[in-house]
Amino acid sequence: MNLRRLFLCPLVFALTSLATFSFAQTAPPIPDGKPHTFVVQGSQFLLDGKPFRIISGEMHYPRIPREYWRARLKMARAMGLNAITTYVFWNEHEPTPGVYDFSGNNDVAEFIREAQQEGLWVILRPGPYVCAEWDFGGLPAWLLKDPTTSVRSTDPKFMQPATRWLVRLGRELAPLQTGNGGPILLVQVENEYGGFGNDHVYMEQIKQAIVNAGFTKAQLYTADSAGSVPRGSLPELPVGINFGGSPGEAQREFAALKRLRPDNPMFNSEFWDGWFDHWGDRHAHTNGAAQAANLAWMLEQGASVSIYMFHGGTSFGWMNGANSDDRRKDYQPDVSSYDYDAALDESGRPTPKFFAFRDAIAKATGITPPPVPEVVAPIAIAPFRLTEAVSLWDSLPKPIESDHPLTMEEVGQNYGWILYRTQISGSSPSGSLTIHDYARIYLAQNADSGAVVDRRVNGAIAIESFVHGPADTTTPFEVLVENTGRINYSHQLLHERKGIVDYTPPQTSAPTKWQMYPLPMNNVESMHFKKAVCTGPCFYRGHFRVTKPADTFLDTSKLGKGQLWVNGHAMGRFWKIGPQKTLYIPGPWLKKGQNEVIIFDVDGTPSPQLEGLTKPNLGD
């Protein structure tokens, strides 16, 4: 998703010139398992030779529990949509080079089949880069192990694994194209590349990789903001344009597209109906009335549109991304909730925006949508304490040793935390560390120095500030670092290695040795918990009982900073700075009877307390 509205253009032609054809007010065709043709002819999309308007909404399969996919798709139909749009997240499917996962929540083919079964066409966005406020824009972290790799370029160190990935994805999804009897109408080439580069050779290579992967029986296209179309598009493919819902924005953006591509279909490939949240900022609220007016205007003109997001969901686990500006080179990590102020909220419940959009679609199409499905009410969970604990310091793995600090990617770690240990001398007159992204500094015997490195504010520390004692003494020096999410937009994603990313050694004659303890935290259930008092960086475990499983929202307002798991599912992050103060717990991931909660809190206090609320607290 484009994070900036880069190009606004005056309205220089009559609005009536935009609409070149009309649609009959009858129910549009739905995917029926038979082969269909979907092409662009002039300024029209044609399905089996007849004009066809796409009214889509974006949902991302890994952000929705698999058990809820069908319920969300039914909601899409109930709002009047005839299609859904989804990215494909490379880093979810290839966690290590050549090892693929299309199981469980990663079964994107099943997600698309269920869309077809619910009468919805599909717009597929395979990337390989997707942005989406998702860690590293969906690119695998292991691409960064070699710091010379240039992603989103013709660099063979990027193109070879990207091509291999697209071919593997084609085995899953090419059979589901419209020409094969599936629901996939459109397949996007790359994603908003004009906001990143201007290399048409690279874009042609990505297009060819998608074709070679078997995507030849659906219509290919590119997507950018209108001002970036010349840089990110290909002359032989139609373009979609991405923009938001401020008053008059649709008119201005389509005016710009008309000047650039007079014969291009009116296609708003991302209509931003909300926004996302950063840690330490306010929760996003957007102008629903203006968005509904923009949507109504586009539909009146016969435009095709994909609402971003129809349903945002949750960036479970460690998968939230981060924003950055090329000019400021700042760092703004996203929260775990991807509620997005969308038509469906984070837990899949319709909002006032849902009904405003539903009315606009019904009025423009003359078609009464299906009834809105009922949703089971969330449940409250009485306060409970996590009375079992184990200290991080008692849970460290075998270290990796080096004469200089290694990044997470260099030790083969994608997500989580990493601990660095070394000795600093009392005679050290200088030395510095640059850290991505958040760190706590500990000195002798794991004593918290009180020093915090927060990349949002300060990304470097001077080692000499921790020197205490005579010149002939040394002090244990520990740096506990969290990867709080890789940048997913702008050129800053090229530099997104995590941990200690730059090191200037102290000016001493003796070389400094380092130990690295990778802490991916992907097996916390097997830790040795016991009834114990634990403070500082600690893991805690507790239990609660449920009579009838349903959604709930665990209140994290009394916690510090860390991660939370329920019954083995990594739910997301918490941080006392907000705005998010609850974590969404899907009902299908709970059990009747006893349920287990584990948290890691770098600011842990004994026996932390949680409770389940019936409403989220996202910082409203």
Contact 614, 552 (CB under 8 A): yes
pLDDT tens-digit series, residues 335-376: 999 999 999 999 999 999 999 999 999 999 999 999 999 999
* Predicted pLDDT of residue 430: 76
**Tokens 């000019």 appear where?**
327
pLDDT band at 20 (very low <50, low <70, confident <90, very high): very low
Contact 241, 229 (CB under 8 A): yes
- Give the per-residue SS3 of 47-98: ECCEECCCEEEECCHHHCCHHHHHHHHHHHHHHCCCEEEEECCHHHHCCECC
pLDDT tens-digit series, residues 232-253: 999 999 999 999 989 999 999 9
pLDDT tens-digit series, residues 492-528: 999 999 999 999 887 765 678 999 999 999 999 999 9
Q: 115 pLDDT exceeds 90?
A: yes
Q: What three-state secondary structure class fits 230? A: helix
**Cis-peptide into 309, omega within 30 deg:** yes
Structural tokens at position 136 = 């590293």
Ramachandran region, residue 492 (left: φ > 0; alpha: ψ -120 to 50; beta: rest): alpha
Q: 471 pLDDT exceeds 60?
A: yes
pLDDT band at 429 (very low <50, low <70, confident <90, very high): low
Comparing 550 with 511, the larger pLDDT belongs to 550
- d(Cα 546, Cα 353) in Å, to the nearest integer? 32
Contact 257, 226 (CB under 8 A): yes
* Predicted pLDDT of residue 26: 65
Task: Over range 520-540, report the average pLDDT.
Answer: 95
Separation of first and last alpha carbons in the chain = 24
**Cis-peptide into 35, omega within 30 deg:** no
* Predicted pLDDT of residue 572: 98
Where would I find the H helices in 301-371? 352-365
Structural tokens at position 172 = 């899953």
pLDDT tens-digit series, residues 560-615: 999 999 999 999 999 999 999 999 999 999 999 999 999 999 999 999 999 999 99
* Top-confidence range, 153-157, 447-451, 508-512: 153-157
Task: Over range 212-225, report the average pLDDT.
Answer: 98
Q: 10 pLDDT exceeds 60?
A: no
Which residue numbers are catalytic? 192, 270
Residue 447 to residues 135, 472, 506, Cα–Cα distance (Å)? 32, 21, 22
pLDDT tens-digit series, residues 273-319: 999 999 999 999 999 999 999 999 999 999 999 999 999 999 999 99
pLDDT band at 425 (very low <50, low <70, confident <90, very high): confident
Comparing 315 with 7, the larger pLDDT belongs to 315
Task: Over range 14-26, report the average pLDDT.
Answer: 44
pLDDT tens-digit series, residues 82-93: 999 999 999 999
- d(Cα 66, Cα 57) in Å, to the nearest integer? 18
Mean pLDDT of the chain: 93
pTM: 0.95
